[in-house]
Structures are given as C-alpha cells and as structure tokens.
C-alpha cells in the first residue's frame, strides 16, 4: 500500500531551510558575475533588481535567478525593496533573506554552511553581520583567479539578515543598515523583532582598485554620496586636494578601504597591505564566474529613463507616509508595459 503521509523528520534531522538573496544592481560591474556564482553556490535563489541599467540585465535570468527591471530615474532602494518583498511573498517559500549589495559576499563556503547557519539561528528574527572590508589584487572584473584580502577585524557597519518566518513586513532603510517593521501596514505601530549579532563578517569589496572607485563615483554621482567618500578620505588623513581629484597612492587606498564608512572614533590609522589577510572567497568558481560573465556580455543595450522631475515629489510623499504604507506603495509603483516596473507618476 502506498502511504500518502508526508515524510517526517526526526529530531536529529531537521527539515532543510530555504535561503534567498536579493540585491539591487545598476549597470554591469566588476562584481556581478562573481556575486552570482558565489551566491548560487551557497543559496537557493538569487533575485536581482535591475535599476535602470543601460543594458537589459533580464538576460541573466536562469534557473534560480530572477531579474526584475525597474525603469525609474531616481534612486529609491528602500521603496523598491519594500515593494518586491511584499509582492513576491518570499516568506511563503523561503526562510532566510540575505539583502545584499553586489559588492557584498556571504561568509560561507558551502551550501551546508549556509544551512547550518539558518538552522542555528532559526529562532531569531533578525541578525546582523558586520563588514570586513577588502580589496582585490587585480584591477579588472573579478574572475576567481585574483587574491582577495580582507581586514581580519569587523567594522562597526552592520547589515541585517531576516528570518522571514518571524519578521512579518520589512521596510529596510539606510541601505539595509537598519529596518522598520510595520504592523497592520502602519509605521505608527511597529513590531520589535528579536535581533542579535551573528558575530560573523560580511565580506565587502567596496570597489576594485582606483578605477573601481572612479566607476563607483560615476554610477552614484549624487553630491551626498560623494561627500561621504570625501569625508572618509579626510578621516584617514588623505589631503583634501588629493581626495577631490582622486590622486591617490596605493597606501591611501589601503587606509581608505580598511576604514570605509567607519565612524571617526573607529578609524584605524597607518593601515598597510600587511594588515589584510587573504581569503579564498572565490576558490573553485572560475568556470562558474566565466559563464556568468558570458551571460552578462550578452545583455543587449536598452534605453534608460531620464528624470523628468515628477518622481522626486512622489518618492518624498511615499517616504513620509506612515499609514497604509504598502497599499499606497503598490498604487504608486508596480508593473508597467514591456514587462518592467516603475513609478506611476
């Protein structure tokens, strides 16, 4: 007789948990193929939010990789992420959400390590990782052959990890360095989920060489972003005129990377290459990275959306909204003709 009972799991053998990585990306960059290869090795699913890239990154769709194109001129990552977290209902099929930038890499080596982490933390709603800043020995795109070096210490900068079975609605803010948790679709009443520090570092490659720093400034030209970088450079003793022109030595870059986005009280002066340690983060992934790079190279050019001035006011209203947050967001942002997403201005 065939049994129709669901398979049971002994106390020693817990049912496997599912992980999903969600990241926003804008234009092809030196990190993306390696980011995909690394996280496909570790997690069950990767979701990319393509923010108005000048090539159509939907060509990167493949088993376990989803890509959603956002045609919006303004940078509103908090709203984009909140919309897709709500509309995709990731909590139904996944246990843990790793909300990353494409220059951030999870600190696990195998799928089994990711699984062990989730099982160990299954009762915790929100966890934090802390950046371990690093650099590549090569200037070009990551291909798995380079040596990656990271600080052995954790910076104060934290990024959050979410147990989707325990958090309810999530509104990540400040680049996922913090979050709000609306209750009944209202930010006036929020839950306060249990949060703890994981004690783990999140490998962070803020840019790859001086060329990568220039590319980052070109991709994020907003005065506020540039001013933050200049502030970091001044904090580690880089002269104002050299910082402004990016006339930096290798020693400047080492100190800048090690202290990237650190608070003044946490600055470590006099950093050299010897203060970093090699980490075989991409070991064994050269073929996988090359395959993802080929997919990226095949992404066709696509027209981008220009700022007509109407998005700014709408974004400001949505960010100031405190009640019916997700309901109003879904009316103001969502699917548009051509299989893309954008604001309904």
Q: Beta 19-25 vs 96-101: how paired, if at all?
A: parallel
For 89-93, 177-181, 232-236, 327-331, which range has the lowest pLDDT when averaged over its residues? 232-236
Contact 84, 68 (CB under 8 A): yes
Q: How many domains does the chain have?
A: 1
Rg over CA atoms, the chain: 21
Asked if residue 310 belongs to a domain, the reply is yes
Q: How confident is the model at residue 137 (pLDDT cuts 50, 70, 90)?
A: confident
For 52-56, 157-161, 213-217, which range has the lowest pLDDT when averaged over its residues? 213-217
Q: Which residue has the higher pLDDT, 203 or 138?
A: 203
Asked if residue 127 belongs to a domain, the reply is yes
Mean pLDDT confidence for 314-325: 94
What residues are paired with 20 via a beta bridge? Answer: 45, 97
pLDDT score, position 219:
66
pLDDT score, position 98:
98
What are the C-alpha distances in Å from 166 to residues 24, 116, 123, 192, 234?
Answer: 24, 18, 8, 11, 42
pLDDT score, position 10:
47
CA–CA separation, 101 and 46 (whole Å): 12
Mean pLDDT confidence for 239-254: 82
CA–CA separation, 20 and 188 (whole Å): 29
Domain with 86 in it: 19-137+157-200+284-290+303-343
2, pLDDT greater than 60: no
pLDDT digits (tens, 9 = 90+) for 183-241: 999 999 888 888 899 999 999 998 887 777 777 766 666 666 777 778 888 888 888 78
pLDDT score, position 128:
97
50's tokens: 């393509």
Q: Beta 195-204 vs 126-136: how paired, if at all?
A: parallel
For residue 312, the domain's CATH number is: 3.90.550
Mean pLDDT confidence for 315-322: 94
Asked if residue 123 belongs to a domain, the reply is yes
pLDDT score, position 73:
94
Asked if residue 70 belongs to a domain, the reply is yes
pLDDT score, position 139:
84
135's tokens: 């650099």
pLDDT digits (tens, 9 = 90+) for 56-69: 999 999 999 999 99
pLDDT score, position 122:
95
Q: Is the pTM of this model over 0.85?
A: yes
Give the position of tokens 């990890």. Answer: 161
pLDDT digits (tens, 9 = 90+) for 273-307: 899 999 999 999 999 999 999 999 999 999 999 98
Asked if residue 52 belongs to a domain, the reply is yes
123's tokens: 């009762």
Q: What are phi and psi of 56, to 5 degrees?
A: -85, 95
Q: How confident is the model at residue 11 (pLDDT cuts 50, 70, 90)?
A: low
Q: Which residue has the higher pLDDT, 332 or 242?
A: 332
Asked if residue 224 belongs to a domain, the reply is no
Asked if residue 38 belongs to a domain, the reply is yes
Contact 212, 260 (CB under 8 A): no
Q: How confident is the model at residue 138 (pLDDT cuts 50, 70, 90)?
A: confident
Mean pLDDT confidence for 158-179: 92
Q: Which of 340, 334, 153 is nearest to 258 (CA)?
A: 153
Asked if residue 179 belongs to a domain, the reply is yes
pLDDT score, position 12:
58
Compute the mean pLDDT over every residue in the chain, rounded to the nearest whole number: 90
């Amino acid at each position: 007789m065939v049994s129709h009972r669901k398979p049971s799991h002994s106390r020693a053998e817990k049912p496997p948990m599912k992980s999903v990585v969600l990241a926003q990306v804008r234009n092809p960059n030196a990190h993306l193929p390696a980011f995909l290869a690394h996280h496909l090795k570790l997690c069950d699913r990767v979701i990319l939010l393509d923010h108005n890239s000048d090539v159509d990154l939907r060509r990167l769709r493949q088993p376990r990789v989803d890509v959603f194109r956002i045609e919006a001129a303004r940078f509103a990552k908090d709203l984009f992420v909140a919309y897709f977290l709500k509309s995709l209902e990731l909590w139904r099929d996944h246990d843990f959400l790793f909300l990353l930038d494409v220059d951030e890499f999870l600190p696990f080596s195998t799928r089994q390590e990711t699984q062990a982490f989730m099982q160990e933390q299954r009762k915790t709603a929100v966890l934090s990782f802390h950046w371990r800043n690093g650099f590549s020995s090569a200037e070009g795109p990551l291909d798995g052959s380079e040596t990656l070096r990271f600080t052995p210490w954790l910076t104060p900068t934290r990024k959050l990890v979410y147990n989707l079975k325990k958090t309810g609605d999530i509104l990540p803010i400040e680049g996922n360095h913090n979050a709000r948790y609306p209750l009944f679709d209202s930010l006036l009443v929020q839950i306060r989920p249990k949060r703890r520090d994981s004690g783990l570092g999140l490998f962070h490659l803020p840019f790859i060489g001086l060329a990568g720093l220039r590319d980052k400034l070109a991709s994020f030209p907003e005065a506020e972003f540039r001013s933050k970088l200049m502030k970091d450079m001044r904090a580690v003793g880089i002269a104002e005129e050299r910082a402004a022109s990016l006339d930096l030595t290798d020693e400047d870059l080492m100190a800048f990377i090690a202290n990237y986005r650190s608070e003044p009280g946490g600055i470590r002066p006099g950093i050299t290459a010897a203060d970093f340690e090699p980490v075989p983060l991409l070991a064994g992934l050269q073929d996988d990275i090359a395959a993802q790079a080929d997919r990226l190279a095949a992404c066709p050019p696509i027209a981008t959306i220009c700022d007509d001035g109407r998005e700014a006011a709408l974004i400001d209203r949505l960010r100031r909204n405190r009640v019916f947050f997700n309901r109003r967001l879904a009316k103001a942002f969502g699917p548009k003709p051509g299989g893309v997403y954008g604001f309904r201005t």
